[in-house]
Chain A
């Protein structure tokens, strides 16, 4: 264990706004119905196993994985399937979902699951158990966890990185998990090490969370190859590539995966859920969500069944008339929501109701680039956002991709954040990437 905080070069220091850090997790009342999206993860959508009118029990599998890069879905509440069809999803378009109406008489105490002796499972069986539990990355990306646990042939993972950075402003779910569910995190870390066959586990926590650091240090037994490292508080410290560089001085190759350099990276909340659910053989049916921002009068960290509508959550958190923007995720990388009827998904780590004063002015005057190089000094990938921005304005999208490494941009938002000319750099890059994708698809 090193005392000095490690970090990656570049990055930014946005105001933390972690107002809900002190709020212990609380369960919300049961919603009258939930909308279980069949695609809450990266990869193939799940396939529905239930029909309209069917009774389902809390925790029962209602959709099976649609392939290897896919996970099953479980019923978040006991009730009756109201319909199986299209609904609004967080991306803003329509997607398949199972709508379950809550059974008013059920107490929702019992959760379906077959307890399993996980210590007897082989690594392959562990990976299957993780997929059966419907586990995805809970930090926001929602990449199926079992895929990360089974690196491609020829690749060996030697280090499991546990991400407790939570570098996004406002969000405090990981922090609460680290304080409240620390034994599950350690259990999950053990399972991840066994499944991948890694030599060691490194738990990384930003140094603005000393209590979490201490809690984890105390929970980690000395005789296991699990170390805890403190990292400088800086955005985007929690990005996989930055973690790999900060902790192990390994660069994930361009276009590659962390497994290319022997790293598998999991969010603390993901591992906590793994440690909690796998022994009981249960599926992922609820998660902790930070509800915060000036637009809610009762901000906090709430345990919410998956598929609960944003409206239900926000109304219980006391949404006020000041709210002008609803963000799914953190304010740096999260997406604004076009409707309150969108259901909460596995990757929803935060739900922010922000007022006008809290967010970037949308119609701020855009000045020409004055080449101040703040974006160059902020970009954690060492790209040249200024040059990319100029090329984007000239619609030279191919050149952006071919000679200026556009595709290495992971849209962390540092460049747009610092730009004194208010140039919407990340937005321009998204457009450029989309155009390039379309062009290469039509070739």
Chain B
């Protein structure tokens, strides 16, 4: 060959690069969320599908429109808005009115992500901010549950799903819908409560069996019920090295130990630690939300502190708080303290003996 005319490309080292980029990571999280979403649809029917789809579309559209308004290249191709949307949808009750699900997406992405500067700049998990906003603004809609595996769930929407925006939700219709469906199965009596609220608010605490909790045969938010599936999907992400298992482990371990300590003091009043782990959104939150890279600490010691902090706050809210569920606020609090955790857990730099004053 003629090396006189060789065109040489100049660049700085390193000249090699690992293959994964941000969209690849986000896409894998989407892949890990899809089985959970499918189980939600199997368990709660077409209403769950519409809730998840609506929140996802709302998140993606919000991100796209804000990029258009800011005259930037659209950032929806990084898949992060899709992740936010699916997670938000999975944290909502199956009968959530679709306009509320959409509003949650718009608020979460708009207020908690875009306003902070987009991906990487948000200090709180956008899906959780959206969820928290809905919890406060629409307490009834966000705590109206339907039983899982209801007959007719694939042919009939839960009546509340298509509530007209800004109109009151048809609670009676929901109850009628559930009663009619349950009548065909011979089961009677629907308390309208999740396992956690059955424990917390019933006159004598009732504990759902761990097997039913683990397999997901309980009412709850669309995506939080099937612990076994969430764990499998989490293991996939851990295997692909796209999720920090230390956060999950720290969170579950601290929640287990603290609730175990309470349980040992009074077994009648406090739920056993296994119930604590598999009820509510603890497994889902520990797998998909606390592990949000952007809002969690970066140091190897910090992730343990962060996980443990969230686990403890969750148990404290569940036992002493006014709400039966504490995962959401615990993670948001964890997000809030993660810069602090980062600061106090900086590792010792190689070859530096005394810590310099920052």
Contacts and interface: CB of A to CB of B under 8 A. Distances in A.
Interface residues of A, number: 70
A417 B18 contact: yes
B11 A325 contact: yes
Interface in A344-397: 354, 359-362, 364-365, 367-373, 376-377, 380-384, 386
Nearest to B352: A254
A207 interface: no
A208 interface: no
A223 interface: no
Interface in B327-358: 346-353, 356, 358
Given A335-B13, A336-B10, A368 B351 contact: no
Interface of A: 12, 14-15, 169, 241, 245, 251-256, 311, 314-315, 319-321, 323-327, 331-340, 354, 359-362, 364-365, 367-373, 376-377, 380-384, 386, 403, 405, 408, 411, 413, 416-418, 420-422, 424, 426-427, 430
A371 B298 contact: yes
A376 B1 CA distance: 44
A175 B92 CA distance: 59
Given A254-B352, A420-B24, A384 B298 contact: yes
B25 to A, nearest CB: 6
Contacts of A169: 16
A333 B297 CA distance: 29
B108 to A, nearest CB: 17
Contact of B350 (A333, A360, A361, A380): A380
B21 A320 contact: no
A420 B20 contact: yes
A327 B294 CA distance: 35
A334 B8 contact: no
A254 B120 contact: no
A24 B11 CA distance: 31
A420 B25 contact: yes
Interface of B: prevailing SS: loop
Contacts of B346: 384
B97 to A, nearest CB: 32
A370 B119 contact: yes
B255 to A, nearest CB: 23
Interface string B5-49: 011111111111110111011000000000000000000000000
Nearest to B23: A367
B16 A367 contact: no
A403 B356 contact: yes
Interface residues of B, number: 46
Contacts of B299: 373, 376
B350 A251 contact: yes
A430 B13 CA distance: 10
Interface string B264-306: 0000000000000000000000000000011011111001000
Contacts of A426: 12-14
A405 B352 contact: yes
Contacts of A354: 15
Contacts of B78: 367
Interface of B: 1, 3, 6-18, 20-22, 24-25, 78, 80, 117-121, 244, 293-294, 296-300, 303, 346-353, 356, 358
Interface of A: prevailing SS: loop
A333 B13 CA distance: 5
Given A251-B351, A314-B3, A373-B298, A417 B244 contact: no
A33 to B, nearest CB: 16
B352 A331 contact: no
B15 A324 contact: no
Nearest to B14: A413
Given A340-B8, A367-B120, A417-B16, 7 more contacts: A332-B13, A360-B16, A370-B119, A373-B297, A405-B349, A421-B22, A426-B13
B8 A417 contact: no
Contacts of B349: 254, 381-383, 405, 408
Contacts of B118: 368
B13 A364 contact: no
Contacts of B16: 14-15, 169, 331-332, 359-360, 417
A373 B342 CA distance: 11
Nearest to B7: A324
A165 B164 CA distance: 69
B22 A420 contact: yes
Given A382-B347, A420-B24, A370 B353 contact: no
B25 A382 contact: no
A408 B350 CA distance: 8
A408 B8 contact: no
Contacts of B21: 364-365, 367, 420-422
A340 B3 contact: yes
A253 B17 CA distance: 30
Given A325-B9, A382-B347, A421-B21, A334 B358 contact: no
Contacts of B353: 253
A2 B244 CA distance: 33
Contact of B17 (A323, A381, A382, A416): A416
Given A251-B351, A372-B293, A382-B347, A340 B6 contact: yes
Nearest to A369: B120
